[in-house]
Amino acid sequence: MAQLARQTNPRRVVVTGLGLVTPLGTGVSPSWEGVCAGKSGIGPITRFDASAMPARIAGEVLDFHAEDFLPKKEARRTEPHIAYSVAAGRMAVEAAGLSGGGFDPDRAGVFLGCGLGGLGLLEKTHETLLSRGPARVSPFFIPMMIGNMAPGVVSMQLGFKGPNCCTATACAAGTHALGEAFRMIESNMADVMLAGGVESVITPLCVAGFCAMRALSTRNDEPERASRPFDAGRDGFVVGEGAGILLLEEEEHAKRRGAPILARVAGYGATGDAHHFTAPGPGGEGMARCMRMALADAGMEGHEIAYINAHGTSTPLNDEFETIAIRSVFGQHAQKLAISSTKSMTGHLLGGAGGVEAAFTVLAIKDGIIPPTINLEHPDEACGGLDFVPHKARKRTIAAAMSNSFGFGGTNGVLIFTAPDFSG
């Protein structure tokens, strides 16, 4: 199997800060505490009148105030996906102890994943164009709509002048952004990288599009029970929004300044299914290759992984094929793995999912807590009878964990994190 090319002695990369904006709350504490408590962030859509939609529920961010993170004038004109990114980025920088400087801004960059950018602004501006004419289109329309303005504005607000990039690889975008930022530090392109994912597309067009695909759950009368990965009664995913950003840092750089080291980034895999627009490859073959690639990149064996934060979307094919792929990669050790899908509580944040779930994976290692898969009332026999940590969080020492993300177009991303002192 082909492997990602790596230099002979890559620099070690650690996580020194986290920032989260999720349907469970604004900030790391409310988001992580909510997940550990098995709390659902899913409810009726309030952003627009969804009464004509087959799916009328979502994981909305309800307690967010952009002016808490941006100057008031800028906050008014900034699209949510950008504001969420600035908020999570500021949180991560502050948690890492970098808000007062202590780093070379030319060697500090931002790499975020975003699947659809400012789709809501696109919808509103198109209405303005049709009803009021081209002269009424805002000059801020293009800059505020494009996905890469999220890392762009973060860099402007924080003064990070190093690599500035955006991935748009659907549901794997946040994981790919983290993996590529990891590579940049490994290869000495940067010392510090803010990386993760963001999305805010709870809009009429987005929801209508996913409804047309029959991809969304229509359990509208029980929104908190709608996202049910690996359950036999699952009927689709629930769209969510938010941002998850990690502060990645070269290990010696972090140690020199006495930074809090939460975990180490150990491995990264990226593959393509070359199969279908939306369906995963047969038997999860591309998923399995991606997990194997991440393990090889980390120089690890499958039995060293204790926990997997699964992609676990609550769609029939994804959950089944991801389970088949896990069994293929881990063999008998699959029965000993703890596997959970935090999407059961946050919904599916699309391009933001990988960033949020990577943060949850780091916190699981740091705190020794495996978040649950809620709503797993009738485990699907097709999902192999593995340990999906149903209903309640579990205390367990975790030395190494994996975070999976698989997107439309057959694009796959996997990250491996370890405890700071992990030696294999």
Which residue carries 């399995």 as its tokens? 288
Q: Strand runs (DSSP E) across 80-179, as ranges?
A: 108-113, 164-167
User: CA-CA distance, 19 to 244, in Å (whole number)?
Assistant: 6
Among 47, 408, 54, 48, which Cα is nearest to 208's?
54
Contact 390, 341 (CB under 8 A): no
Contacts of 388 (CB under 8 A, 6+ apart): 229, 230, 310, 339, 340, 341, 373, 376, 379
Spatial separation of the C-alpha atoms in residues 275 and 277, rounded to whole Å: 7
Q: How many CB atoms lie within 10 A of CB 213?
A: 11
Token pair for residue 354?
């990988």
User: In 45-121, at which residue ranges do the beta strands (DSSP E only) sit?
Assistant: 57-58, 108-113
Handedness of CA 336, 299, 191, 171 (dihedral sign): negative
CB-based contacts of 385, cutoff 8 Å, min separation 6? 379
Which are the catalytic amino acids?
171, 311, 348
**DSSP 8-state class, residue 162:** S
Cα separation, 95 vs 106, in Å, equals 21
Buried b (16+ CB within 10 A) or exposed e, 3-19: eeeeeeeeeebbbbbbb
413 within 8 A of 183, measured Cβ to Cβ: no
CA 90 centroid distance within chain: 17
| Half-sphere exposure at residue 388, Cβ-oriented, CA atoms within 13 angstroms | 32
Scored b (16 or more CB within 10 A) or e, 90-101 reads: bbbbebbbbeee
Helix, strand or coil for residue 402? strand
